[in-house]
Amino acid sequence: LAKTTQPISMDSYEGQEVNITCSHNNIATNDYITWYQQFPSQGPRFIIQGYKTKVTNEVASLFIPADRKSSTLSLPRVSLSDTAVYYCLVGDTGAGSYQLTFGKGTKLSVIP
Amino acid sequence: NAGVTQTPKFQVLKTGQSMTLQCAQDMNHEYMSWYRQDPGMGLRLIHYSVGAGITDQGEVPNGYNVSRSTTEDFPLRLLSAAPSQTSVYFCASSRGRHGYTFGSGTRLTVV
C-alpha cells in the first residue's frame, strides 16, 4: 500500500480557496487517490476520488499531475463548516481487495 | 436507506470481558471493514471482508475476531477486553472503488 504524506494542519479564512497537497511517491499503476473528510465524533465521509488529471464534483476538485506522485484537494470558498480533518488515501481497488490505509490527515481550521 | 448502522454507540467494559460490536449495511456492498481511531490519530484497519464468508486481517488484528456470514452483517468481537482497546471503532462498507461509507462509530472504554 502506497504511503501518503500531507501537512498536519492548515488555517484559512472564510471565503478563501484551500488547497491541500498530498505526496504519494510510491503510487502503483492500479492505485486510485481518494480523499475523505472527518468531523469530530463522526466517521469519515467520502469527498472525491480520481486516477489522473482533474476530477470535480459539487464540493471539491482533485488535481493529479501526470506522474501521479502527488495530488491536490481544492476546496472553493471555504466556510466554518469545512473545519475538519482531511485524509488522502491511495489504494488498489482491483483483485478482490480494497484496503484503505489512513494517515493522520490534515486538520483544516477555518477562521471567521 | 439507513447506510451503515453500528451498535452500541457507547460501551464501558471491564478488563477481561468480551463483547461484540455490531455493524450492518443495507446497500448490498461486498466490501466491509473495521477501523479503530485513537485520540489525535488516523484510522487503523483491524479486519476487513471482501464478501460473505471471506475475511482477512488488517494492520492491528490482535485481540479481535470477525466473521461474515451474510453480506449485510460484519460483527467485531473483542475476546478479552484490555485498556489498550479503549478507542472509537468505525465500521465501513464499499462497493468496489466507489468510496467507503462509514458508520457513526462505537466509543468503547475498557476500565
Percent of chain A at pLDDT > 70 equals 90
Q: What is the pLDDT of residue B20?
A: 98
Q: Nearest to residue A15, comparing CAs of A61, A73, A82, A78?
A: A78
Residues of A with CB under 8 A from a CB of B: 32, 34, 36, 41-46, 49, 87, 93, 96-105
Contact status of B2 with chain A (Cβ, < 8 Å): no
If one compares A89 and A97, the residue with the highest pLDDT of the two is A89
- Tell me what the pLDDT averaged over chain A comes to: 89
B107: closest CA of chain A, how far (Å):
9
Query: What pLDDT tens digit does each residue of chain B (111 aa) get?
Result: 679 999 999 999 999 999 999 999 999 999 999 999 998 778 899 999 989 999 999 889 999 999 999 999 999 999 999 999 999 999 999 887 667 899 999 999 999
Q: Which of B7, B37, B43 best probes binding to A when mutated, by most A CB atoms within 10 angstroms?
A: B43
| AA letter at A79 | S
The three state secondary structure string of chain B is CCCEEEECCEEEECCCCCEEEEEEECCCCCEEEEEEECCCCCEEEEEEEEECCEEEECCCCCCEEECCCCCCECCEEECCCCHHHCEEEEEEEECCCCCCEECCCEEEEEC
Q: What is the pLDDT of residue A94?
A: 52
A96: nearest CA partner in chain B: B50
Contact status of B52 with chain A (Cβ, < 8 Å): no
Give, in order, the Cα–Cα distances in Å from A110 to each of A72, A78, A85: 18, 7, 11
B53: closest CA of chain A, how far (Å):
13
Chain B residues in contact with A103 (beta carbon < 8 A):
42
Residue A52 scores a pLDDT above 70: yes
Q: What is the pLDDT of residue A2?
A: 60
Q: Interior CA angle at A54 toward A90 and A86, to 5°?
A: 45
If one compares A9 and A98, the residue with the highest pLDDT of the two is A9
Q: What is the pLDDT of residue B100?
A: 86
Q: How confident is the model at residue A95 (pLDDT cuts 50, 70, 90)?
A: very low
* pLDDT, tens only, A96-110: 445 667 778 999 999
Nearest to A32 among B45, B97, B104 (CB): B97
Q: How confident is the model at residue A19 (pLDDT cuts 50, 70, 90)?
A: very high
